[in-house]
Amino acid sequence: MSIFNKILKFIRKRERLSIGMQLSPAMFWIVFFLLIPLGILVIYSFWEMVGTRLIPVWDLRNYVDVFTRVGGMYIRLLVKSLAMSALVTVGSIALAYPVAYFVSLRIEKYKYTWLILLMGPYLVCWVILVFGWKMVIGYSGLLNYLAQLLGLISEPMSWMWNNWWAVVFILIMGWAPWLVLPMFVSLEKIDKSLLEAAADLGAKPMKRFLRITLPLSSPGLLVATFFVLIPTFGEFVTPALAGGSRGVMYGNAIDASFTSMMAWPFGSALSIFLMIISLIVATILIRIVGLEKLMESL
Amino acid sequence: MKKKDVVLENVTKKFGDIVAVNDISFSVKKGEFFSLLGPSGCGKTTTLRMLAGLEKPTKGKIYIGEEDVSEVAPFERPCNLFFQNVALFPHMNVSENIAFGLEMKKLPKSEIKKRVKELLDVVGLPGFEKRRTKELSGGQAQRIGVARALARKPRVLLLDEPLGPLDLKLREEMMIELKRIQKVVGTTFIYVTHDQGEAITMSDEIAVMKEGRIIQIGSTEGLYNKPRTAFVAEFIGRSNLIRGRYREGKVNLNNLNKSIIIGPHKVADNDYVAVCIKPERISIGEDIANLDNVFEAVIEEVYFQGAQVNYKVLMEGNYKISIFEHYRGKIFEQGKKLKIGWGKEDVHLSEA
């Protein structure tokens, strides 16, 4: 018996080890790319940084700072970011749901072609997407140009760029096509005979939508909420590019702590705080739908 | 004469070039259990969907009650549909499901509650109000489906192969149950099925369909005993069909230089016909000379079923014949040569 066979036999005898071996690539991934960096972050959050040196002081000063620094600015930023993500979520769902509804229930041929076309914007990277919008709504963008050309305004409008709503707008535009997918899936899963049954029982189109289609597609809506709310909460690219000073989000504060401010421990504390809030939000969402339903609709 | 509840006049439905329903007309009396019977693709479901308003007829008129409903939307028709897959709303419990149609009518809550209770009693599931649809067994879901469809007191209940997904035992139970419910509520039922057993057990009248046309309409007994064509004969119950040409009260057989005496008949001489003889009308034995038609036969297969013995015999002329005989303590063995016979009143002539 070769050595190889001996090893195999040894592993087979120990079922747990065998399962562990099979999981090991995934485990490796999680440990090295998630748990260890996260651990370092947690450790740093209890340290102090002087100049470029990290000093292990092991106290909670960074967490206290999150609440007190610059007169509680960071907490206000956190609330603002949460509000902005909520707005982005609502906006992108409002934009995507009718599209998903239309593709699922009205289009009969080439459904999937339409869906793939919707994914078109993702062939370009996010940064280009943002700058693309800058060319439309920016200070010297298309809209301003056209408005001036038509004589509607004499000076370019500056309110469309470099503020929080430009960030929200671009995020909505970026997310909406993505959201069509989960909502399409949950709409597709609705047995069409349920709608016929509702019609047969006297429900007019609006009633059918409100009583049957909407409740049965709600898992898709919640998946969509999940998709958008959590990542947007920590968003920092879009505000950095399109938000200016008025469009700053919490993610930019974390970014700044690790770069210009050279305050890694404080940045770590900010990050951990963000994670905790995200976890709470996620838990609430899961509680509302139930994990089982959420998984079903993925 | 009872009032006509449903009338179809020269109804045709085309899907593109395909003619699903081809110029059919029939009427259903009030309170009747009427079945549309036929193999898949015969247009029976399309007919039902046109009655429900889910499809529009290409040509022809449909009346429910006195009203021409050809242009009436599904939710305004005085009929309800019981769906093939029951289609209970999964996000609602039993009483919410049954109440749905009543809420659409904007009935007061107390009345809805009363009606739901009443319906659950009718379908034999009292106290099921708060059950979730997932917790129902197949048969229970079917009954709730019937209750939901009956909630709005439709003039006509349309049923589309409702018993298809059930296993045999449950199906037999539900057949009896459906018939009982229909008698209790007195609603006209129009029932679509490909299963002749279901149609025969429950129906007052059956329309046999094939390739978009109605081949024959009649009472179950009428269809069973007097099938108009060989197709109907083979579809309803079991029949022995012997093909030949009619001439002066006799049918000269194709395979055999003999004839079957059938007595005078309204068939033109020299027409090709199928002689239809039901298995239970054939006598089998060694000495049956007193019958009009007697042939030599060899027993090929014997199935003892308790009260009844089924024989498959090979008649002279190479005709395979099924015979059902009451068991009277005697079984003929396989391979035995004997005689089979029947009287001229036991046969029926169908179109070949």
Residue A16 pLDDT > 80? no
Higher local confidence (pLDDT), B41 or B97: B97
What number is the average pLDDT over the span B263-278? 84
> Tens digits of per-residue pLDDT, B219-250?
988 888 888 888 898 888 888 998 888 888 88
Q: What is the pLDDT of residue B257?
A: 82
The Cα of A200 is separated from the nearest Cα of chain B by a number of Å equal to: 5
Mean residue pLDDT across chain B: 89
The whole-angstrom distance between B208's CA and the closest CA on chain A is 26
Q: How confident is the model at residue B286 (pLDDT cuts 50, 70, 90)?
A: confident
The residue that leads in pLDDT, B14 or A219, is B14
CB-defined contacts A:B, below 8 A: 55
Average pLDDT for A70-83: 92
CA B49 to chain centre: 18
pLDDT value at A213 more than 90: yes
Pure H helices in chain A: 3-13, 15-30, 36-44, 61-68, 73-101, 111-118, 126-137, 142-149, 164-188, 192-200, 205-208, 214-233, 237-238, 250-258, 264-289, 291-296
Quick one: closest CA in A to B99, which residue? Answer: A201
**Encoded amino acid at B217, one letter:** I
pLDDT of res. B2: 58
DSSP conformational letter for B349: E
Closest C-alpha among A215, A239, A255, A203 to residue A126: A239
Cα B255 to the center of its chain, rounded Å: 33
Interface test with A, best of B50, B83, B160 (most A CBs within 10 A): B83
CB pair distance less than 8 Å for B152 and A196: no
- Whether A46 shows a pLDDT value over 90: the answer reads yes
Distances (CA, A) of B208 to A181, B42, B55, B199: 46, 9, 21, 10
Chain B residues 73-92 within an 8 A CB cutoff of chain A: 74-76, 80-81, 83-85, 87, 89-91
Q: Using pLDDT thresholds of 50, 70 and 90, give the confidence band for residue A294.
A: low
The verdict on B15 touching A (C-beta cutoff 8 Å) is no
Contact A200 B52 (CB under 8 A): yes
Rounded to an integer, the average pLDDT of B192-217 is 91
Mean pLDDT of B307-314: 92
Q: What is the pLDDT of residues B42-76, one digit of tens each?
A: 999 999 999 988 889 999 999 998 888 888 888 88
Residues in B closer than 8 angstroms to A193, CB to CB, are: 83-85, 87
| A191, A202, A215: residue with CB nearest B87 | A191
The C-alpha angle B240, B38, A197, rounded to 5 degrees, equals 155
Q: What is the pLDDT of residue A296?
A: 61
At residue A297, does pLDDT exceed 60? no
Q: Which residues of A touch B101 (CB under 8 A)?
A: 201-202
Instruction: For residue B105, list chain A residues with Cβ-Cβ distance below 8 A.
Output: 202
Distance (Å, whole) CA B312 – CA B290: 23
Q: Do A202 and B89 touch (CB under 8 A)?
A: no
Nearest residue in chain B measured CA to CA from A200: B75
pLDDT at B76: 83
Over residues A87-140, the pLDDT tens digits come to 999 999 999 999 999 999 888 888 888 888 888 878 888 999 999 999 999 888
Residue B312 pLDDT > 60: yes
What's the confidence (pLDDT) of residue B98? 94
Chain B residue with the nearest C-alpha to that of A193: B87
Does pLDDT of B183 surpass 60? Answer: yes
Band of pLDDT at residue A277, cut at 50, 70 and 90: very high
Complex prediction ipTM: 0.75
> Are B89 and A199 a contacting pair at CB < 8 A?
no
Mean pLDDT value across chain A: 88
- The mean per-residue pLDDT over the stretch A130-152 comes to 90
Q: Supply the pLDDT for residue A96.
A: 93
pLDDT for residue A26:
87
Q: Tell me which chain B residue has its CA closest to the CA of residue A205.
A: B75
Burial of A128 (0-12, 13-18, 19+ CB in 10 A): exposed
Is the predicted pLDDT of residue B352 greater than 80, yes or no? no
Percent of chain B with pLDDT over 90: 43
The Cα B206–Cα B199 span in angstroms is 7
Reduced to 3 states, what is the DSSP secondary structure of residue A228? helix
Is the CB of residue A204 less than 8 Å away from at least one CB of chain B? yes
Compute the nearest-CA separation of A191 from chain B (Å). Answer: 8
The predicted structure's pLDDT at residue B108: 93
Average pLDDT value for residue range B300-309 = 91
- pTM of the full structure: 0.74
Q: What is the average per-residue pLDDT within B206-226?
A: 91
Cα dihedral across residues A206, A211, A216, A221: positive or negative: positive
What is the least distance, in Å, from the CA of B277 to any CA of chain A?
A: 43
- Can you tell me the mean pLDDT for A49-76? 90
At B330 the pLDDT is 85
Cβ of A191 under 8 Å from any chain B Cβ? yes
Nearest to B75 among A191, A193, A204 (CB): A204
CA atoms within 13 A on the CB side of B243: 9
Mean pLDDT of A265-282: 93
